[in-house]
Amino acid sequence: MLISYNWLRELTGTRLTPLELRERLTMVGLAIDAVAEKDGDALLDVEVPSNRPDCLSHVGIAREVAVIESGRVRPPCSKPTRVQGHATDLMSVEIRDTDLCPRYAARLVRGVKIVQSPAWLAKRLEEIGQRPINNVADITNYVLHELGQPLHAFDFAKLSEQRIVIRRATGSEKLKTLDGVERALDANMLVIADAERPVALAGIMGGEDSQISIHTTDVLIESAYFNPESVRQTARKLGMDTEASRRFERGADCDNVLGAQSRCVELICEIAGGVATKDAIDAYPSPLRARSIAFSPALVESLTSLRVAETEMQRILTGLGIAHTEESPALWKCVPPSWRIDIERQEDLVEEIARHFG
């Protein structure tokens, strides 16, 4: 995955050079295959481990850089959004198969103007190997690479009855995807449908019939969490591999659904104009619970032979977003952040401390 040094510097204020970052990130388990200079920037080709989907974005890599330098990540900021009306008054969302889609959020932006992206946005995407399409599509792609959350923009006028239904396909349904290929679906594949037909392959690619064009004025912004195995099986069966599917297959951050959508909507209103609904329809019937891990600080030395001061352990854990409280002198309660799906037991916490200390 290509990471822009300039983008990282905006997020962290890093003082390390690209080559120094290559060395330091490799030391903490994020191997940098190459560093290439391009148009006043440096591109780091990061080899992201399969169990670290949180690092499939600039903010994800920025978190690691911030811990390395004892710094912090500067949250991306946008201009205030113009808002009017509530999403539930304009559309509806129904999840029929919650096992494959635990959460789905939809928000509407009306009165946009679809044109080419401003030069800064097009350049940033081109630098990391992404082809600019139009301002709204480019913003969804930009936020994906910034925050790691795949998003999709539908032309709202092309959705029958202004309905979104997340369901399994029927054996007879077909969908022509954005790449122009007509795909035969089966009953194990999850689709995003309107009142009549599928309009997107969930977590993989949108449909041609509902894509935005220069005639689009109202866009529905989708942000969701899809079952990783469901996305993986559908993508393999159809021979597809997309930026979205790569992230959903590994496991996206369910708690980032609304945050990434808000960031996308703010940028659309700023760049493409329009007025957003005051809120989103956030269908989330069974919220995921935060994980809690009992952690013994003494385990660090016993497993790694590293003598790490507790203050340093706390610095590393805090920098990685891992909340911790002292239950007793010998036992901490640690709560991994929603984006770290790979942290499940105290040995994982030991590994996190060891890779950033030693």
Pick the CATH number of 2-68 from 3.30.70.580, 1.10.1740.10, 3.40.50.620, 3.30.56.10: 3.30.56.10
Question: According to the model, what pLDDT value does residue 79 have?
Answer: 75
**Start-end of CATH 3.30.56.10 domains in the chain:** 2-68, 293-357
* The domain made up of 293-357 is a member of CATH 3.40.50.1240: no
| Regions of the chain short of the pLDDT cut 50 | none
Question: According to the model, what pLDDT value does residue 290 have?
Answer: 87
DSSP collapsed to 3 states, the chain: CEEEHHHHHHHHCCCCCHHHHHHHHHHCCCEEEEEEEECCEEEEEEECCCCCHHHCCHHHHHHHHHHHCCCCCCCCCCCCCCECCCHHHCCEEEECCCCCCCEEEEEEEECCCCCCCCHHHHHHHHHCCCCCCCHHHHHHHHHHHHHCCCEEEEEHHHCHHHEEEEEECCCCCEEEECCCCEEECCCCCEEEECCCCEEEECCCEEEHHHCCCCCCCEEEEEEEECCHHHHHHHHHHHCCCCHHHHHHHHCCCHHHHHHHHHHHHHHHHHHCCCEECCCCEEECCCCCCCCCEEECCHHHHHHHCCCCCHHHHHHHHHHCCCEEEEEECCEEEEECCCCCCCCCCHHHHHHHHHHHHC
Question: According to the model, what pLDDT value does residue 348 have?
Answer: 98
Question: According to the model, what pLDDT value does residue 78 have?
Answer: 75
Pick the CATH number of 87-283 from 3.50.40.10, 3.40.50.300, 3.10.105.10, 3.40.50.880: 3.50.40.10
Q: What is the tens place of the pLDDT at every residue in 87-123?
A: 999 999 999 999 999 999 999 999 999 999 999 999 9
Question: According to the model, what pLDDT value does residue 154 have?
Answer: 98
Question: According to the model, what pLDDT value does residue 24 have?
Answer: 97
**Start-end of CATH 3.50.40.10 domains in the chain:** 87-283
Other residues' Cβ atoms within 10 Å of the Cβ of residue 123: 14
Question: According to the model, what pLDDT value does residue 171 have?
Answer: 80
